[in-house]
Structure 1
Amino acid sequence: MTPGIIVAAPASGTGKTTVALGLMAAFRAQGLAVAPFKNGPDYIDPAFHAAATGRDSFNLDTWAMSRAQVAGLAGTAGGADLAIAEGSMGLYDGVAAAGESGIGSGADLAALTGWPVVLVLDVSGQAQSAAATALGFSRLRALPFAGVILNRVASPRHEALVRDGMAGAGIAVLGALPRRADMALPERHLGLVQAQEHGDLPARLAALADFVATHCDLPAIRAAAAGGIAGPQVAVRPPGQRIALARDAAFSFVYPHLLAGWRAAGAEILPFSPLADQSPDPSADVCWLPGGYPELHAGALAAADGFRSGLAGFAATRPVHGECGGYMALGAGLVAADGTRHRMAGLLGLETSFAARRMHLGYRLATLAAPLPGQAPGDRLRGHEFHYATILAQPDAALARVIDATGAAVAETGSRRGSVTGTFFHLIAPAGG
């Protein structure tokens, strides 16, 4: 089993993604094989992890995945020298009710894997008092705890004061990063700007690796790595044997563990680009449109007549499914932020708008009322929804009964019309799997 660490923080916005990427790139630059992971539902950070390490990054989600599923995916780190998992939100943050193997928190993942926590602390505006935060996070639960990396340190004197407080609390300081605004990656409304949109990403990662290597104790961090779990990978049922998968800047949000699971089951993935006006491969037996940013490319999608007609022809004889952005693209129309309505594929009656933004965020448990590719009526699926679209119309039959993590019903039931289906949630795993 591969020893590892979990890079966590007290809250979002403290710099844990910067630190996690820097550590991944720095250890790789030393010649180590680094296996990256992401706690919880996120489809943007894993692409950066893959660029930093040269390996696929898999999501480990204790709310949506069973212990066996987490162990199987963590076991893919076999052969690596070090596993580095990036946390989500605050270390202990999750939902109120446990799912398959926890509430989705980084703390649950640390307890499950045995990977010690490296806590990234934004020490802006405080000095010795930061030790109280670190001490509380280290003791709230009996978790493996490696120490802290101080972020946004103002000066050598500031660092000395913070270190003094940590020494008094018995907390190991594994690094101290000075304030460097140029080290942060640009963001947009769903998180970081996607990795594929950074033409200078290799240079950015190299600079980040140097920055972290200069200001962190890499030998101590590697020595602190421990734990690890492994097991056989839980089989994933693919939506078809030959899967036409939309894949470009508008449709890029698909979980790597699903793609790996489909391939392991013997399925073949046939990518195509709607933005390039391409149609699904006619030899495919199913078409899958993942989420992404259709709102940023609505004009190009509206003008993609070849894609639209090819998709309609495909849907006449074979199933087509869309998730979130893919679901919106299957609808009748999408209103962009400037109020302009753009024609979409028209295979469903869904109308969405970004002119009046409303955030939809959270775990989803769906019980299917009708089949979708790879799943049967009555199947229960765990997933996650995150978008800012407002539903103007959703006239087709509901695809599923959908509830959130508290058990409350949500209006985003998905839709079905003939062989075409769509959901606002991104599938993570079957419930009980």
Structure 2
Amino acid sequence: MTTPGLMIAAPASGTGKTTVMLGLLRALTQDGVAVQPFKSGPDYIDPAFHRAASGRASFNLDSWAMDGGLIDAIVREGAGADMVIAEGSMGLYDGVASRGATGNGASADIARRMGWPVILVIDVSGQAQSAAATALGFRQLDPDVPFAGVILNRVASPRHERLVRRGLESVGIPVLGALPRRGDMVLPERHLGLVQAMEHPDLDRAIADYATFLRDHADLPAIRRAAARGEVADHHAGKLPPPPAQRIAIARDAAFSFLYPHLLEGWARAGAQILPFSPLADEAPAADADLVWLPGGYPELHAGRIASAQTFLDGLRHHAQSRPVHGECGGYMVLGDALIDKAGQHHAMAGLLGLVTSHAQRRMHLGYRHAQLLAPIAALDAGTRLRGHEFHYSTIVAQTDAPLAHVTDADGVPVAETGSHRGPITGSFFHMIAPAS
């Protein structure tokens, strides 16, 4: 693959790179450019916004969790596009202390590996020529990370823009856009980040507004020219992860949506049947499914509806009598005896695991996870090593079943949230990203 690409990154979270990303995707798509989006890091919300903006599925690329063959296999999904745009996470060089499969999880790892020049989105609020020092530091910290230029965000006035541009011109850094301060250019958020794309009240209009904003204040032709062609190994170099079963019933709705796109793609490419169903619509999983998979999401916001979804719960329990069920994070909580919402109200769940979780006792759990299975997850045998990510605010009140895995963080420190299993019923708080080599 030699599709030209770019990385939209920033010095830190909250600088506006997602707004820039969505605006660019939509504006270029409107111009007839087939743009393939990617997301650096384990964020499972942004890819759905990318898809809404570009019309193409977006995939995560993660240098800590994925080996080189898997990264290459995922990037090959962009074959046939005119251009690649990847969105970074946090700051460009932010990652964990310990190196993983191909890096420490920083967006810079992906830009370096793929040869995609970085466009740095800088929030210039409260500074002028000093912004040049920030940009210069990011350009020079690692000479192997290609650097295209900057887009200035939250510019206060034409005079402010002139001052910032003057500083950047003095060090030879191109300015590819200057976005005026706009209080309405903010996507709604909740405790795990952005509100999901499917829940946004008028997402298409919002993205169209971002596209117009970028057209008016960024140099789209210069941005396209800045893209560089990255080299990806041939199709024998790596494969997407294989499916854990042949017929997989997957819960898909506003309560269950956090499943990495490359897993779904890999399972489907390998011939698995993906059988979606909606617990919120009180649908039972397919009767002929070999495996039921409940992804993460926001079941705590819909606990009352889930508790009263008798067709879903009965179907899930019937399946569990003879075939495996797996839940990740929110899906894991639904497999338990009860879920306590942030108001302290108890909601009876499926009762397939002896687990009670609470959002009334909030505590953030965040970070990469390495897990070695102590029991199988469907076709994933005991002993299988997995890399994944955990992000939630729930607290375990009770857990009576055997641990599912030995789990550590990225630095090898044991983690108390081991998941649990009861016969073929398994669950974990970590979201699987890839098998570990």
TM-score range (shorter-chain normalised) is over 0.9
Give the drift of 1:34: 0.2
Give me the whole-angstrom Cα distance separating, in 2, the residues matched to 1:208 and 1:381: 38
Moved more, 248-257 or 71-80: 71-80
Aligned to 1:189: 191
- For each residue in 1:299-351, what CA deviation from the matched residue of structure 2 results, as whole angstroms up to 9, or x when unmatched? 11111111111110000010000000000000011110001011111100111
**Structure 1 CA distance, aligned partners of 2:135 and 2:141?**
10
1:11 matches 2:1 = no
Number of matched pairs = 432
**1:10-55, Cα deviation, whole Å (9 max, x unpaired):** 0000011111111111111111000000001011100000011111
Output the CA distance in 2 between the equivalents of 1:308 and 1:200: 32
Per-residue CA deviations over 1:151-204 (Å, capped at 9, x if unaligned) read 000000000000000001111100000011211111111111100012411111
Checking the alignment, whether the CA contact within 8 Å between 1:38 and 1:59 is kept in structure 2 is: yes
Query: CA offsets per residue over residues 96-120 of structure 1, 9 Å max, x none?
Result: 0111000010111111000000000
Would the aligned equivalents of 1:74 and 1:229 in 2 still touch at CA under 8 Å?
A: no
- Cα distance in 1 for residues equivalent to 2:33 and 2:135: 29
Cα distance in 1 for residues equivalent to 2:379 and 2:127: 53
Helix, strand or coil: the match of 2:36? strand
Q: Which whole-Å CA distance do the structure 2 matches of 1:394 and 1:118 have between them? A: 46
2-structure distance, mates of 1:206, 1:15: 16
Choose 418-427 or 221-230, whichever is displaced more: 221-230
Q: State the percentage of identical aligned residues.
A: 66
**Structure-1 separation of matches of 2:241 and 2:178:** 42
Residue 139 of structure 2 aligns to a residue whose secondary structure is: helix
Match of 2:368 in 1: 363
Give the distance between the partners of 2:63 and 2:220, measured in 1 at CA.
Answer: 29
Aligned residue for 1:291, secondary structure, equals coil
1:165 maps to 2:170: no
Match of 1:176 in 2: 178
1:299 aligns with 2:304: yes
Contact 2:111 2:146 (8 Å CA) reproduced? yes
Provide the TM-score with structure 2 as the length reference.
0.98
Find the partner of 1:217 among 210, 216, 219.
219
Number of the residue aligned with 2:103: 102
2:131 aligned with 1:130: yes
Contact 1:116 1:227 (8 Å CA) reproduced: no
SS across alignment from 1:274: coil
Paired residue secondary structure (1:70): helix
Instruction: Write out aligned runs for 1:68-83 (5 A).
Output: 68-83=69-84
Matched, 1:395 2:397: no
2:78 alignment partner AA: A
Residue 258 of structure 1: aligned partner: 263
> Which whole-Å CA distance do the structure 2 matches of 1:246 and 1:229 have between them?
36
* Whole-angstrom CA distance in 2 between matches of 1:245 and 1:76: 22
Partner of 1:269: helix, strand, or coil?
strand
Alignment check: 8 A CA contact 2:240 2:263 kept: no
1:226 corresponds, among 225, 228, 232, to 228
Q: CA deviation at 1:276?
A: 1.1
**CA–CA separation in structure 2 for the residues paired with 1:396 and 1:141:** 48
Choose the corresponding residue for 2:203, options 196, 201, 204: 201
Question: Is the 1:237–1:374 contact (alpha carbons within 8 Å) kept by the matching residues of 2?
Answer: no
Task: Calculate the aligned-residue CA RMSD, in Å.
Answer: 0.8
Aligned counterparts of 1:287 and 1:388: Cα–Cα separation in 2: 24
2:395 and 2:182 map into 1 onto residues whose CA distance is 37
Aligned to 2:314: 309
Structure 1 residue 374: deviation in Å? 2.9
Q: 2-side partners of 1:76 and 1:197: how far apart?
A: 27
Instruction: Determine the C-alpha separation between the residues in 1 that align with 2:80 and 2:90.
Output: 29
- Distance apart, 1:230 and its partner CA: 2.4
Mapped partners of 2:265, 2:319: distance in 1: 25
Specify the alignment match of 2:155 in structure 1: 153
3-state SS of paired residue (1:150) = strand
Find the residue that maps to 1:121 and give its secondary structure: strand
Q: Deviations over 1:101-159 (max 9, x none)?
A: 00010111111000000000000000000100000000000110000000000000000
**Matches of 1:290 and 1:235 in 2, distance apart?**
19
Aligned partner of residue 131 in structure 1, secondary structure: helix
SS at match of 1:251: coil
> What residue in structure 1 maps to residue 54 of structure 2?
53
Q: Which amino acid aligns with 1:222?
A: R
For 2:43 and 2:273, locate their aligned partners in 1 and report how far apart those are by CA, in whole Å: 24
Give the counterpart letter for 1:230 in structure 2: V
The 5 A counterparts of 1:258-407 are: 258-407=263-412
Partner SS for 1:276: coil
Secondary structure in structure 1 of the residue aligned to 2:415: coil
1:411 aligns with 2:416: yes
4+ aligned runs moved over 3 Å, structure 1: none
**Structure 1, unaligned stretches of length 5 or more?**
none
**In the alignment, structure 1 residue 424 sits paired with structure 2 residue 429:** yes
Contact 2:41 2:106 (C-alpha < 8 Å) held by counterparts: yes
Alignment of 1:112-123 (within 5 A): 112-123=113-124
Once the two structures are superposed, residues 248-300 of structure 1 have per-residue CA deviations (whole angstroms, 9 ceiling, x without a partner) of 11000011100000000000100111111111100111100000001000011
